[in-house]
Amino acid sequence: MQNFEYIAPESAIAAAQALSPKAGLTAVLAGGTDLLSLMKERVETPTRVVSLRNIAALRGVSKQGGGLRIGAMATVQDLLDSKAAAGYASLLQAARGITAPQVRAMGTVAGDLLQRPRCWYYRNGYGLLAMHDGKALVPSGENRYHAILGNKGPAYFVSASSLAPALISLGAQVTVAGPEGERSMAVADLFQIPSSASERENTLEPNEIVTEITVPSASGWKTGTYEVRQRQLLDWPLVTASVALRMRGNRVSDARVVLGHVAPIPWRSSEAETALNGQAANESSGEAAGKAAVAAATPLSQNEAKVQLATIAVKRAVAMAG
Amino acid sequence: MATKYDWPAADDRSLIGKRHNRVDGPAKARGAAKYSYDRNLDGMLYAKLVTSTVPHGRIVGIDTSRAEKAPGYKGHVNILNVGDEVQWAGAEILAICADTEEHVRDAAAAVTVLYESMPHWVKDEDVEKAGEANRVKPAKDDTKGPNLEEAWKSADATVEGYYGLAVITHCCLEPHGQVVDWTGDEITVYASTQAVARIPGDLATGLSRDEKIGTVAADSVHVITPYMGGGFGSKFNIDTWGIACAKLSKMTGKPVKLMLDRDEELMVAGGRPSDFGNIKVGAKKDGTLVAYESETWSTGGIAGRGSPPVPYVYNNEERLAQKARHLNVSTNIGPARAWRAPNHPQAAVLTMCPMEDLAAKLDMNPVDFFKKNADLTARPEVYRYEIDKCAEMIGWADKWHKRGDSGSGPVKRGLGMSLHTWGGRPHDSTCEVRIQPDGGVSVNMASQDLGVGTYTTLSVVAAETLGLQIPDIKVNIGSSKLPISGASGGSTTVGGTTASTRRATVNALEELKTVVAEALETEADDLVAKDGKVFSKSDSSKSLTWQEACRKLGNRTITGQGKQPDRNGGKLNDSGVGGVQMADVSVDVETGIVSINKIAAVQDVGLVICLEQCESQVYGSLIQGVAWALYEESIYDQTTGKMLNPDMEFYKLPGAGDIGELEVHMVQNKYDDRGVIGIGEPPAISPGAAISNAVANAIGVRVPTLPLTPDKVLAALANA
């Protein structure tokens, strides 16, 4: 890896101030499960790495108001071990899908949201948009794991986050600190589909860091996550779906359906939500929601199967919630 | 004819054929066992390869000027030069060394290589497209047995289908490489190799080709490999990186370590050829197989590979009409290397899968169908016995159902089976056994333990022969200065090394008996070594403990020599075995995900030396088999010509939770008279075909090619 300067400031503002406003020059180190391999492969070549390890305020998973606060340095294992998180079934199911104890122990919840895509063209040095001699590699290339939604180009990768679909369906907020102060936004707004090589898959400024994630109370919601994953061993899901259903009697009054690994962002499906609203939460409404979720899918040359997998993931997530 | 070297009769065996823990287990568990990757010598430098970034091209420039100024840079040697052609991405161009691992990575990254691009092709499955790209070599038909046309006419049922399996790599956990310490005229090589005795000559020849180095004698090279982290057929040679590593050591006067990175290991240091093809098989109503016809193609890289031996196992040339045509697809991917039972796993898929499909069409239970046709194999009795035994282990009679008759619900369960064969003749081996006056016994030879149990099997043989226990034996292998023994490939090691060890130990014991006989005032022939004693058969009062007996040697050490082959040394080994495997799988037909419930394996290997190590070879094969049946595939991008998954993230292997229950049965006390036969390859052949057949049984349709990934399972269901 390229040589870099390492600093570990003690406050979030100091960390943000140590980051460059220009993309690619500096990097934030939390658990390092993604950043270090990117640096070893020279996909990322920051000249300064800012570690968050000395910022005590970023740690911990705790109750906050009626909801949950997850510090930016809380690990996936911290989340799983926390009594405060007990009521968030879909979030815990998603966390358990990260089956490697090593990754759970080192990787942070915020890092899961901000990890770079696993697209093999990107990881092999062809850039986030996977270009070669001015041409996009994915549409006619090896795209079995790529996007089936939001894939009009130039981005074809899928968002790699395991936890974002659950957090978005739970209405989570994220707080970020920049050199001048903090701002908050919905977790969904952390993600974007890049429209050019100068954009990333997240909306953070290069000198902003996530400080915490807050999740409102899930009381009154039925939630579930289903991952279609090939192996028990640590494996990237082929497709995931998280649902949160507020019930009025036996009927769904408010559905939130978010798919993962199908698009360059966690994909909230209003079509699936419409299909569920007013219905009982059961296999047939789950199936209808699954079909609605992929009605607009545009699979690439090799990933037709993901359309079916997305349908099933939604159906089974509804079953998990119900 | 019986000789004194023959294996003891069943009643006289106290250790042979029993279950013994691996003698090197504790050292490995503690980390005390030093692999080549673990060697860190004083002052050692680190080397790294610079490899081709293009799949095909001519090198027009190599600029090392920036690398030479990099911190810690110590030197580099070219493997290829300007003007040379590279035929695959990842091809070795030069090796560079520096004072630390980090510095050498920076230095390697600072090397610039310029290429003149040439056309490339990396795809093998679509043979028409490969043909359009001029990448298919013409083939000739290989016809055997009865008239094919007549045979097709006599068939009551035929199946025509498409079958295949992708290129995979060896993915050795310890990658290829070595540490070389060239001091004065002595070259010490800590090599990760399957051929300790072969490497000195291989390295010396490679070095001697370089005029600047001049002639290097093979005997100046000492290879040390006490432990080795997996080869599977890919580690017989010193390779370009070994020669470059030695040159860097000479150039710098320091020990140099060059172990491949994981991406290099997957791109250039492994590779099992693919196979795809259209197969037609036919049988009579009663299940009698009458004809097999195949047109197959595959790639083994730019140079191609041999053809798969199809039809496989069921290949009687008098009764089965056969026609095989094989095409080679030339691709710009890393060259193929021998992979456990070369060509056999592919042949099993190309034979056992269409046969299972034919059984389904005939509405026959595959167990009956495969047994009925056992006369078309070279060992009908072995297979019939093994099929019955394996069926009992997997619960075939209770669990098997007709194809697709798997009940409601999305998860379908199914059973499948496959048969295999392998030679496993013993390699040449020389052994020296020493008996010391203090009672110590050592077995010495330039063999190697690939992680398969060689230390243990040799300990068992020497201890059994001398009436001692396993811990009483010191096994010295993994050094090229010891008596020469063969490379470990093709299941040849256990047969060769146990025979040379048996003979050497018998010879050493004879000499000891001569000395002891004098002390006990009896004849050598009257003495027996058993239970840690040497005693007279005729007079029980004449008895010495092993230590007392050895003390009679005074200051003399006995050396016994043994060789394989030895025309007068009795029949200690053989070749040619059969095995049967059955898989029980579950398939989620909504997601296409296949999971393994159980695999049962029955294997004949003649005389088992150590049951536990023998079984372990089968367990390892089954785990590896789950990997290539469900997950493994080298994925290449045609536009860039690059392997996209040279890592352990998308080059998928199973974990403990993915392999299901594995049950192994070694056939013992049935074929023991044949002597020892190798076990490395046979059980590695059938898993893919057995698992594919189980999936077909579960879901009612054939998933044509391995690995059986969810997308392919769903596509097969959609096409049904």
Closest A-chain CA to B655: A233
Judge if B508 and B537 occupy the same domain.
yes
In this model, does residue B306 exceed pLDDT 90?
Answer: no
CA distance A304 to A310: 10
pLDDT tens-digit series, residues B82-110? 999 999 999 999 999 999 999 999 999 99
Express as a percent the part of chain B with pLDDT over 90.
98
For residues B225 and B478, the answer to whether their CB atoms sit within 8 Å is yes
Q: What is the mean pLDDT of residues B418-436?
A: 97
Q: How many Cβ atoms are within 10 Å of B160's Cβ, its own excluded?
A: 12
pLDDT band at B245 (very low <50, low <70, confident <90, very high): very high
Based on the domain organization, do B601 and B689 belong to the same domain? yes
| pTM confidence score | 0.98
Domain boundary among B207, B233, B259: B259
Give the residue from B259, B288, B305 where a domain finishes. Answer: B259
pLDDT band with cut points at 50, 70 and 90 for residue B2: confident
B628 Rama sector, left if φ>0, alpha if ψ -120 to 50, beta otherwise: alpha
Contact B637 A304 (CB under 8 A): no
Q: Are A101 and A76 in contact (CB under 8 A)?
A: no
Structure confidence by residue, pLDDT tens digits, A79-124: 999 999 999 999 999 999 999 999 999 999 999 999 999 999 999 9
**Phi, psi (degrees; rounded to nearest 5) at B499:** -70, -45
Distances (CA, A) of B513 to B401, B460, B523, B537: 63, 21, 8, 13
ipTM: 0.97
State the SS3 of chain A. Answer: CCCCEEECCCCHHHHHHHCCCCCCCEEEECCCCCHHHHHHCCCCCCCEEEECCCCHHHCCEEEECCEEEEECCCEHHHHHHCHHHCCCHHHHHHHHCCCCHHHHHHCEHHHHHHCCCCCHHHHHHHCCCCEECCEECCCCCCCCCCCCCCCCCCCCCCCCCCCHHHHHHCCCEEEEEECCEEEEEEHHHHECCCCCCCCCCECCCCCCEEEEEEECCCCCEEEEEEEECCCCCCCCCCEEEEEEEEEECCEEEEEEEEEECCCCCCEECHHHHHHHCCCECCHHHHHHHHHHHCCCCCCCCCCCHHHHHHHHHHHHHHHHHC
Distance of CA A253 to the CA centre of its chain: 26
| Residue B279 clears pLDDT 90, i.e. is over it | yes
Do the domain assignments include residue B236?
yes
A219 touches chain B (CB under 8 A): no
Residue with tokens 């909504």: B590
> Is the sign of the CA dihedral B599, B605, B608, B609 positive or negative?
negative
Q: What is the domain range of residue B101? A: 36-118+176-259
* Length of chain B (residues): 720
Same domain, B699 and B675: yes
Cα-to-chain-centroid distance, residue B10: 30
Q: Over the stretch B442-456, which tens digit does the pLDDT of each residue have? A: 999 999 999 999 999
| Residues in A touching B106 (Cβ below 8 Å) | 2-3
B644:A309 CB<8 A: no
Q: How confident is the model at residue B590 (pLDDT cuts 50, 70, 90)?
A: very high
Other residues' Cβ atoms within 10 Å of the Cβ of residue B49: 23
For B21, how many CA atoms within 13 A lie in the half-sphere containing its CB?
8
Q: Which amino acid type is present at position A72?
A: A
Cβ within 8 Å of residue B375, ≥6 positions away = B316, B319
**What is the CA A283 to chain-centroid distance, rounded?**
26
Q: Report CA torsion sign: B355, B359, B365, B370.
A: negative
B130: helix, coil or strand?
helix
Are both B371 and B509 inside the same structural domain?
A: no
Subunit contact B644:A121, Cβ cutoff 8 A: yes
Between chain A and chain B, the number of residue pairs with CB atoms below 8 A apart is 85
The per-residue pLDDT for range B130-175, each reduced to its tens digit, is 999 999 988 888 999 999 999 999 999 999 999 999 999 999 999 9
Whether A215 and A67 have beta carbons less than 8 Å apart is answered as: yes
Mean pLDDT of chain B: 97
Please give the structure tokens belonging to residue A7: 């600093």
How many structural domains compose chain B? 3
Test A141 with B639 for CB contact under 8 angstroms.
yes
* Whether residue B525 is found in the same domain as residue B500: yes
Q: Report which of B461, B477, B390 is spatially closest to residue B675, judged by C-alpha positions.
A: B461
Residue A141 to chain B, least CA–CA distance (Å): 6
Element (H, E) at B602: strand B593-604
Q: Using beta carbons and an 8 Å cutoff, which residues of B are at the interface with A?
A: 102, 105-106, 109, 590-593, 630-631, 635-640, 642, 644-645, 647, 649-650, 652-658, 709-711, 714-715
**A302 contact residues in B (CB cutoff 8 A):** 711
Does the bond joining B226 to the residue before it have cis omega, within 30 degrees of 0? Answer: no
Please report residues of B whose CB lies closer than 8 A to that of A125: none
Bridge partners (DSSP) listed for residue B58: B85, B116
**Averaged pLDDT, B286-311:** 95
DSSP-derived letter for residue B118 is -
Average per-residue pLDDT in chain A?
97
Contact present, B230 and B684 (Cβ < 8 Å): no
Whether residues B25 and B66 fall in one domain = no
In this structure, is residue B254 part of a structural domain?
A: yes
Q: Please tell me whether residues B470 and B440 are part of one structural domain.
A: yes
DSSP reduced 3-state for B640: coil
How far is A127 from A23, CA to CA, in rounded Å? 14
Verify that B419 and B431 share a domain, yes or no. no
Packing angle between helix A305-321 and helix A283-293, nearest 10 degrees?
A: 140
Query: Mean pLDDT, to the nearest integer, of B47-70?
Result: 98
Q: Which of residues 274-313 of A touch B (CB under 8 A)?
A: 302-306, 308-309, 312
Residue B135 domain-assigned? no
Tell whether B710 and B608 lie within a shared domain. Answer: yes
Close Cβ partners of A320 (under 8 Å, ≥ 6 residues apart): A89, A90, A93, A224, A225, A226, A243
Nearest to B558 by CA among B526, B520, B513, B523: B513
- In DSSP terms, which residues pair with A2 in a beta bridge? none
B189 and B201 together in one domain: yes
Q: Pairing state of beta strands B543-545 and B533-536?
A: antiparallel
B630 CB neighbours in chain A (<8 A) are 230
In the 8-state DSSP scheme, what is residue B90?
T
Residue B216: CATH number of its domain? 3.90.1170.50
Residue B695, token pair as written in the block: 């999936």
Per-residue pLDDT of chain A (322 residues; tens, 9 = 90+): 889 999 999 999 999 999 999 999 999 999 999 999 999 999 999 999 999 999 999 999 999 999 999 999 999 999 999 999 999 999 999 999 999 999 999 999 999 999 999 999 999 999 999 999 999 999 999 999 999 999 999 999 999 999 999 999 999 999 999 999 999 999 999 999 999 999 999 999 999 999 999 999 999 999 999 999 999 999 999 999 999 999 999 999 999 999 999 999 999 999 999 999 999 999 999 999 999 999 999 999 999 999 999 999 999 999 999 8
How many residues comprise chain A? Answer: 322
CATH, residue B639: 3.30.365.10
Q: What's the whole-number mean pLDDT along residues B360-387?
A: 98
Q: Is B305 a residue whose pLDDT tops 90? A: no
**Domains assigned to chain A:** 57-114+171-215 (3.30.465.10), 221-321 (3.30.390.50)
In this complex, do B715 and A236 lie within 8 Å of one another by their Cβ atoms?
A: no
| Domain contains B270 | no
Q: Would residue B284 count as lying in a domain?
A: no
- Asked if B549 and B514 sit in the same domain, the reply is yes
User: What pLDDT was estimated at residue A1?
Assistant: 84
Q: Which residues of B touch A306 (CB under 8 A)?
A: 711
Q: How far apart are CA B595 and CA A312, in angstroms?
A: 18
**pLDDT given at position B407:** 84
Q: In what order do the strands lie in the sheet with A48-51?
A: A5-7, A48-51, A26-29
Please, what's the largest Cα pairwise distance for chain A? 60
Residue B413 domain-assigned?
yes
pLDDT tens-digit readout, B190-242: 999 999 999 999 999 999 999 999 999 999 999 999 999 999 999 999 999 99
**Is residue B68 assigned to a domain?**
yes
Within 8 A of A142 by CB-CB distance, chain B residues are: 635-637, 644
Q: Do A1 and B105 lie within an 8 Å CB cutoff?
A: yes
**Nearest-CA distance B662 → chain A (Å):** 17
Q: Are B614 and B548 within one domain?
A: no
Q: What is the pLDDT of residues B611-637, one digit of tens each?
A: 999 999 999 999 999 999 999 999 999
Closest Cα of chain A to B655: distance in Å? 5
Q: Residues near B10 by Cβ (< 8 Å), separated by ≥ 6?
A: B17, B669, B672
A241–chain B Cβ distance below 8 A for any pair: no
Instruction: List Cβ neighbours of B30 (8 Å cut-off, separation of 6 or more).
Output: none
pLDDT band at B298 (very low <50, low <70, confident <90, very high): very high
Domain boundary among B564, B590, B621: B564
**Contact present, A75 and A59 (Cβ < 8 Å):** no
Which pLDDT belongs to residue B405? 82
pLDDT of residue B1: 72
Residue for token pair 């020892």: B676
Inter-chain residue contact A120 with B644, CB threshold 8 Å: yes
Residue B130 within a domain? no
Cα–Cα distance measured from residue B416 to residue B583, given in angstroms and rounded to the nearest whole number: 5
pLDDT at B450: 96
Q: Which chain A residues are closer than 8 Å to B714 by Cβ?
A: 305, 308-309
